[in-house]
């Protein structure tokens, strides 16, 4: 592996200043579980890296009813997976984080890294999409907020500028009578990449009908994305098997899978339908129990 | 993991024993592994752990095409890069070897279609990432930068990846110099069919026609990799006295010595090979890989040269196991008696000839006594990497087809799959497909062990996952047994301890087993035996470690060396005790004369005295060349849960019954069985190389080349059946190869039992299950396969057999 310069600023402002000063060719290093593997195996070695190791202001998870959930860029996947409040109110997110790699990977890797790496199969992306996450970003020109639905551009590409740092991920408090779930298919039990990932979130109204439903898909398109038609279709319907089956069918139609070494397009589309059905069912169950 | 040892009551003949051992003290004990502490504390020295002062690092450039003429290679810019000491291509080799050996070599000798000889592609590249040039530099990074500066001009040629296409008469031969070999002779026109192996008996057509029930089915397995953790690594040094020192991760240091000496055209005494600890070999490290390249670079640069493969190099350019197409027909009477079998095996051996065809057929059908049969195996070349040995070479693939077909037959007959197998299982005196009679064997005993196990006799428990289905399946398998040459020395120290010196590589904890055998026969505590695996200048000769031969063959050598040492100790004691050697009693590490039992000598006293007494120190030696093969059989029961909507499969339990002859160390035996089973599960369910149409591997990493992880490995319960082998000490049989053979078929049968999907392609997990479910007639068709026309104008003059070193290693 080629040598690269290593910077370890101790504040966010300093991190942004390093990016501005050093110019293009740099990379933020959070857990490094994508960055270093890519450098070693694909030879994509950055000119310099800016480690978030000492930027302690990014290592917080906070939750309150009014402000919702905020996950700092340095928070490990393991902490997100085990966080009691996230497990209770944002089940899909804790499931997504708990499925990434292994314990070792979860101890190092971050949700921010998972999103910025922008793999179509990123396991944290569909859960955050169905829960309306917003990305908080700092750059040389200041601060901005990006809804996650607008964040991904293509495989490995996001709207982040070269001088920008993802600071945190914010998720609004879900309404009462709501629930979410994330399922993925992998040939192995763990340490595997999703052939298909499906997240669902459901909110029920006072009568028990569907007030809102979102389905997001991973590994069946150039980026993780919301299956908007499928979600819209359920609103106002009873959360019964017929509705669920219909929504799942539409979601499968919205998938844009390719055939590769992980599976054929036809099988992936089929898996979307199966997993969407199951994920929606689980989310409804959680909403009813909430 | 639980284990049951099943004694069979058959007495063990311990050959050559000149004293009766009243009770065994160390044999059969679960003593801890000798090298265990070093390994778990990270102190063990693997292939890449040796370094020398002034060492250079080498990297290779792989071919950009799976099949192309190499028009030119320009290395000028690479050689000019500061820090680069040498860049070598295939065209340079004849000149370099001529200088090393001081004999002129014809360039053509280096341009032959041979796995062992073509270490660098020359004139033509025949698989993607085949090494075409190597660079040695002061750092790995500079060596890599040098590779980027090499310009190769290729003229791409048509790529053939399907062996059933490549084997046709009209296919263009990949090599001009490969002519089909058969038992009758060699063909006269070049062909992609490197070898045809045929075995037959009786009139199979008539027998099939007369059968009450017939099954015909085709199966296909994917090319898989052995998946050893440690990538190949080698260090070579050239000394001014003309000698080469090699440190390498290999299964056979003497094999590397003779192979390298042959390649460099120097006498073996100019090569010294030290084998490192090996982080897994499974057959793949039986043949040379990096040693010739490193030796050549060390000679050219005058500096030590180290080379280590990356994981993606390992997956793209070492020697995986062949993918196999099989067409299997079996016929039986109503009562389940097998009357006939016919099969064609098409093995995709990759870019260069070689493979385990005879053993493969014997492993596939050798579990059953069948009157009339006709089996044909084809070694077919394609533009994929050369394949190599992997645990019971070619056996798991063939057994997958045969064991699947047997379950289809059982289904058709309405018979229990275990009963069908028991009815046809081979026993002593039956013959294998090569028509060699079996000595005492234990297949029926392993079948009975499964037949009476609760996992088979109790009703199926409901699935643990909602909507999933549960199933169980069985499979049988065998390995004919490994023999070969082994030698051991045992030095008796003055303190009465012993050092066993061998030149065989320990892949699986055999140092521990050898210490147990020596301790048992010398009647000293296990802790007082040390086992040294020495280099080729120091150690007595042994063949490479492979084919499940070490405990059986090297164990015999150690056993004989211990008995020799004991004899010498008695002779020396006789001098001290002033009695005939026959009157010396040797027991529990003490020696005395039966005439004066009160005067006792310890081994240490005798050894101390002997080194100064004129009779010399005690060095026991034992060697072995020919033992009777000890075939080992296994029956496995696999339990799975299948998600019929996604095709997901979870293996929930495996019961592995195996005839181990005698478990010298049950823990080590279980390790072999569990390891073989888990590799078999990966092969059955998730592993497989995926190539694009250009012949480039699409999954050259462990993310997409899916070996099972610890979480995928189920409980593997071992049933150690002990039917003693007729030759060798204690009745022991080799245990390493067998456990992977039955697993693939057992998994396929379990999946069928769970959901009714007869999956005829590997790996099974996922889409293939859904495809099979959508077409329940699949696999039940009785389409017999007609082999394509081959160019077989056989020259009946049988050519002299060229001895291929790697053929003996599995
Ligand atoms: C063995 C293994 C198994 C894995 N399994 C899975 C899996 O099951 N599912 C899955 O989705 N992923 C998996 N991954 C990928 C990886 O672990 C995850 O994507 C992880 O979340 C990445 O986080 P990180 O902090 O390590 O990112 P890093 O490697 O540090 O960074 C990843 C990318 O994001 C950028 N980046 C990181 N943080 C910021 C920031 N705050 N601002 C701007 N840019 C930033 C980096 O510059 C880099 O380009 C696996 C990886 C390995 C090695």
Q: Which of B36, B56, B35 is nearest to B234 (CA)?
A: B56
Whether B701 sits inside 8 A of A270 (CB atoms) is no
For residue range B422-444, what is the model confidence (pLDDT) as tens digits? 999 999 999 999 999 999 999 99
Q: Which residue of B has its CA nearest to A272?
A: B646
The pLDDT value given to residue A1: 75
Distance, in Å, from the CA atom of B458 to the CA atom of B711, rounded to the nearest integer, reads: 26
Cβ of A73 closer than 6 Å to ligand 1, yes or no, is yes
pLDDT the model gives residue B233: 98
All residue ranges of chain B with pLDDT < 50 are: 1, 13-22, 798-810
Residues 6+ apart with CB under 8 A from B589: B496, B522, B523, B524, B602, B603
Which CATH superfamily does the domain covering B47-157+232-308 fall into?
Aldehyde oxidase/xanthine dehydrogenase, a/b hammerhead (3.90.1170.50)
Interface of A with B in 40-69 (CB under 8 A): 41
| pLDDT of residue A207 exceeding 70 | yes
Residue numbers in A near B648 (CB within 8 A): 185, 187
Q: Is B682 helix (H, G, I), strand (E, B) or coil?
A: helix
Distance of CA B475 to the CA centre of its chain: 20
Q: What is the mean pLDDT of chain A?
A: 96
Task: Check A41 against B770: CB less than 8 A apart.
Answer: no
Question: Which residue in chain A is spatially nearest to B313 when comparing CA positions?
Answer: A41
How many CB atoms within 10 Å of residue A207? 8
pLDDT of residue B776: 74
Q: How far is the CA of A117 from the centre of ligand 1 (A)?
A: 6
Q: Give the closest of B698, B706, B767 to A267, CB-based.
A: B767
- Chain A positions in Cβ-Cβ contact with residue B706 (cut-off 8 Å): 187-188, 192
Domain ranges of chain B: 47-157+232-308, 484-624
> Is B800 assigned a catalytic role?
no
Q: Do A267 and B698 touch (CB under 8 A)?
A: no
Separation of CA A120 and ligand 1 centre (Å): 12
pLDDT at residue B810, as a whole number: 44
The CA distances from residue B650 to A186, A192, B359, B646, B718, in Å, are: 11, 15, 31, 12, 19
Q: Any chain B CB within 8 A of the CB of A2?
A: yes
The reply to whether B47-157+232-308 and B484-624 are identical in fold is no
Q: How far is A274 from chain B (nearest CA, A)?
A: 7
| Contact (CB<8Å) A267/B711 | no
Q: A252 is written with which tokens?
A: 């499968």
CA dist B482 → B255, B554, B736 (Å): 16, 11, 10
| pLDDT of B368 | 98
Q: Give B558→chain A minimum CA distance, Å.
A: 43
pLDDT given for residue B476 in this prediction: 98
Q: How far apart are the C-alpha atoms of B192 and B65, rounded to whole Å?
A: 19
The DSSP symbol for B109 reads G
Report the C-alpha gap between B192 and B351 in whole angstroms.
9
- Say whether residue A192 is in contact with chain B using an 8 A CB cutoff: yes
Pocket test for ligand 1, best of A42, A93, A106, A113 (most atoms within 8 A of CB): A113
Under DSSP, is residue A198 helix (H, G, I), strand (E, B) or coil? Answer: strand
Dihedral sign for Cα atoms in the order B785, B791, B796, B798: negative
Ligand 1 pocket test, candidate residues A57, A75, A100, most atoms within 8 A of CB:
A100
Interchain contact, A267 vs B685, CB within 8 Å: no
**Long-range contact list for A42-45, CB < 8 A, 24+ apart?**
A43/A1, A43/A2, A45/A1, A45/A2, A45/A4
CB B478 within 8 A of CB B635: no
Atom of ligand 1 nearest to the CA of A137: 42
pLDDT of the residue at B10: 63
Q: What is the pLDDT of residue A52?
A: 97
Q: Say yes or no for a CB contact (<8 Å) between B706 and A192.
A: yes
B→A interface, C-beta within 8 Å: 141, 312, 645-648, 650, 685-686, 690, 698-699, 701, 703-704, 706, 708-709, 711-712, 763, 765-767, 770
Which pLDDT score, from 0 to 100, does residue B801 have? Answer: 43
- State which residue of chain A sits closest to B769, comparing Cα positions: A267
Residue A167: CB within 6 Å of ligand 1? no
Residue B253 CB-density burial (10 A; 0-12 exposed, 13-18 middle, 19+ buried): buried
**pLDDT score for B613:** 61
Distance CA(B381)–CA(A154), nearest Å, equals 40
- Choosing from B737, B799, B803, B806, the catalytic residue is B737
The whole-number pLDDT of residue B617 equals: 87
CATH class of B484-624: alpha beta
Rounded Cα gap, residues B528 and B445, in angstroms: 37
| CA dist A147 → A133, A158, A169, A170, A253 (Å) | 6, 12, 10, 9, 24
Q: What's the confidence (pLDDT) of residue B4?
A: 73
Question: Ligand 1 centroid vs A109 CA: distance in angstroms?
Answer: 6
Testing the interface with B: which of A189, A193, A266 to mutate, by most B Cβ within 10 A?
A189
pLDDT number for residue B3: 66
- C-alpha distances in Å from residue B484, one per residue of A253, B308, B357, B549: 62, 30, 19, 7
How many Å lie between the alpha carbon of A195 and the closest alpha carbon of chain B? 10
Tell me the pLDDT tens digit for each residue of A222-254: 999 999 999 999 999 999 999 999 999 999 999
Query: What is the model's pLDDT at position B624?
Result: 96
- The DSSP secondary-structure symbol of B551 reads I
Shortest Cα distance, chain B CAs vs residue A34, angstroms: 13
Measured CA distances, B724 to A121, B102, B664, B728 (Å): 54, 53, 12, 10
Considering CB atoms only, which of B312, B706, B708 is closest to A41?
B312
Q: Is the ipTM of this complex over 0.85?
A: yes
Q: Is A72 in the pocket of ligand 1 (CB under 6 A)?
A: no
């Amino acid at each position: 592996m080629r040598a690269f310069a290593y910077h370890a600023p101790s504040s966010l402002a300093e991190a942004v200043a390093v990016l501005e000063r050093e110019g293009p060719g740099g990379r933020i290093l959070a857990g490094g579980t994508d960055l270093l593997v890519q450098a070693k195996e694909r030879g994509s070695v950055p000119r310099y890296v800016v480690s978030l190791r000492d930027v302690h202001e990014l290592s917080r998870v906070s939750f309150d009813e009014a402000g919702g959930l905020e996950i700092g860029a340095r928070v490990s996947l393991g902490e997100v997976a085990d966080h009691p409040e996230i497990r209770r109110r944002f089940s899909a997110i804790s499931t997504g984080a708990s499925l990434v790699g292994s314990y070792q990977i979860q101890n190092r890797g971050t949700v921010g890294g998972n999103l910025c790496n922008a793999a179509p199969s990123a396991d944290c992306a569909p859960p955050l999409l169905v829960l309306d996450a917003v990305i908080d970003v700092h750059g040389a020109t200041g601060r901005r907020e990006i809804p996650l639905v607008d964040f991904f551009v293509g495989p490995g590409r996001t709207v982040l500028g070269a001088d920008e740092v993802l600071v945190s991920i914010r998720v609004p408090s879900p309404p009462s009578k709501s629930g979410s779930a994330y399922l993925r298919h992998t040939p192995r039990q763990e340490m595997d990449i999703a052939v298909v990932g499906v997240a669902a979130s459901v909110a029920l109204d006072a009568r028990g009908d569907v007030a809102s439903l979102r389905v997001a898909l991973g590994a069946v398109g150039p980026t993780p994305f919301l299956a908007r038609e499928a979600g819209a279709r359920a609103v106002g319907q009873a959360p019964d098997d017929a509705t669920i089956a219909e929504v799942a069918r539409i979601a499968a139609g919205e998938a844009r899978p390719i055939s590769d070494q992980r599976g054929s397009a036809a099988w992936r589309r089929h898996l979307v339908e199966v997993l969407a059905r199951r994920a929606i069912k689980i989310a409804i169950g959680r909403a009813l129990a909430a | 993991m639980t284990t049951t040892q099943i004694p069979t009551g058959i007495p063990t003949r311990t050959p050559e024993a000149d004293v009766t051992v009243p009770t065994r003290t160390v044999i059969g004990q679960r003593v801890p592994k000798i090298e265990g502490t070093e390994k778990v504390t990270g102190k063990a020295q693997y292939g890449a752990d040796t370094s020398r002062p002034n060492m250079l690092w080498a990297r290779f450039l792989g071919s950009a095409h799976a099949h192309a003429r190499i028009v030119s290679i320009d290395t000028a810019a690479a050689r000019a890069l500061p820090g680069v000491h040498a860049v070598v291509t295939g065209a340079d080799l004849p000149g370099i070897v001529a200088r090393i050996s001081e004999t002129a070599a014809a360039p053509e000798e280096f341009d032959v279609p041979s796995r062992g000889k073509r270490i660098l592609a020359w004139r033509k590249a025949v698989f993607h990432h085949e090494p075409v040039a190597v660079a040695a530099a002061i750092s790995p990074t500079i060596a890599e930068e040098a590779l980027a500066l090499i310009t190769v001009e290729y003229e791409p040629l048509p790529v053939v990846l399907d062996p059933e296409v490549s084997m046709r008469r009209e296919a263009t031969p990949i090599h001009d110099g490969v002519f089909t070999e058969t038992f009758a002779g060699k063909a006269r026109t070049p062909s992609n069919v490197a070898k045809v192996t045929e075995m037959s008996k009786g009139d199979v057509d008539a027998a099939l026609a007369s059968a009450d029930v017939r099954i015909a089915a085709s199966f296909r397995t994917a090319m898989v990799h052995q998946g050893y953790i440690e990538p190949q690594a080698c260090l070579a040094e050239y000394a001014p006295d003309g000698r080469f020192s090699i440190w390498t991760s290999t299964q056979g240091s003497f094999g590397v010595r003779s192979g390298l000496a042959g390649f460099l055209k120097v006498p073996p005494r100019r090569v010294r090979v030290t084998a490192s600890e090996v982080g897994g070999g499974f057959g793949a490290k039986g043949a040379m890989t990096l040693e010739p390249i490193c030796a050549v670079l060390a000679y050219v640069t005058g500096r030590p040269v180290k080379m280590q493969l990356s994981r993606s190099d390992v997956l793209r350019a070492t020697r995986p196991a062949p993918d196999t197409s099989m067409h299997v027909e079996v016929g039986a009477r109503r009562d389940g008696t097998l009357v006939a079998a016919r099969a064609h095996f098409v093995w995709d051996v990759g870019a260069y000839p070689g493979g385990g065809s005879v053993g493969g057929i014997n492993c596939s059908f050798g579990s059953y006594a069948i009157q009339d049969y006709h089996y044909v195996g084809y070694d077919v070349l394609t533009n994929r990497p050369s394949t190599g040995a992997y645990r019971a070479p070619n056996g798991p693939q063939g057994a997958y087809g045969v064991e699947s077909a047997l379950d289809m037959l059982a289904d058709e007959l309405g018979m229990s799959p275990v009963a069908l197998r028991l009815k046809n299982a081979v026993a002593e005196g039956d013959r294998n497909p090569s028509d060699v009679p079996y000595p005492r064997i234990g297949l029926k005993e392993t079948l009975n062990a499964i037949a009476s196990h609760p996992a088979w006799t109790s009703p199926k428990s409901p699935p643990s996952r909602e909507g999933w289905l549960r199933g169980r399946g069985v499979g049988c398998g065998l390995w004919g047994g490994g023999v070969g040459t082994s030698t051991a020395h045992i030095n008796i120290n003055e303190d009465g301890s012993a050092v066993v010196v061998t030149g065989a590589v320990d892949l699986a904890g055999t140092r521990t087993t050898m210490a147990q055998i020596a301790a048992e026969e010398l009647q000293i505590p296990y802790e007082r035996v040390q086992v040294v695996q020495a280099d080729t200048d120091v150690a007595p000769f042994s063949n490479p470690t492979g084919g499940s031969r070490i405990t059986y063959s090297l164990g015999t050598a150690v056993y004989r060396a211990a008995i020799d040492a004991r004899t010498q100790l008695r002779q020396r004691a006789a001098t001290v005790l002033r009695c005939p050697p026959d009157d010396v009693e040797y027991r529990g590490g003490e020696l005395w004369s039966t005439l004066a039992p009160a005067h006792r000598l310890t081994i240490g006293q005798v050894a101390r005295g002997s080194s100064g007494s004129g009779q010399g120190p005690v060095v026991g030696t034992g060697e072995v060349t020919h033992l009777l093969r000890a075939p080992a059989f296994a029956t496995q029961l696999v339990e799975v849960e299948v998600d019929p909507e996604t095709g997901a499969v979870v293996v929930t339990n495996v019961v592995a019954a195996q005839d181990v002859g005698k478990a010298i160390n049950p823990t080590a035996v279980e390790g072999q069985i569990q390891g073989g089973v888990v590799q078999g599960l990966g092969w059955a369910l998730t592993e497989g190389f995926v190539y694009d149409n250009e012949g480039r591997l699409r999954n050259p990493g462990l993310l997409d080349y899916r070996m099972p992880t610890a979480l995928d490995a189920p409980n593997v319960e071992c049933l150690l059946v002990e039917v003693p082998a007729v030759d060798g000490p204690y009745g022991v049989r080799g245990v390493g190869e067998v456990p992977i053979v039955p697993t693939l078929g057992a998994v396929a049968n379990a999946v069928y039992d769970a959901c009714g999907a007869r999956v005829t392609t590997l790996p099974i997990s996922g889409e293939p299950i859904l495809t099979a479910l959508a077409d329940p007639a699949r696999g039940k068709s009785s389409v017999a396969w007609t082999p394509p026309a081959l160019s077989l104008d056989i020259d009946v003059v049988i050519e002299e057999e060229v001895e291929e070193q790697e053929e003996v290693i599995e």
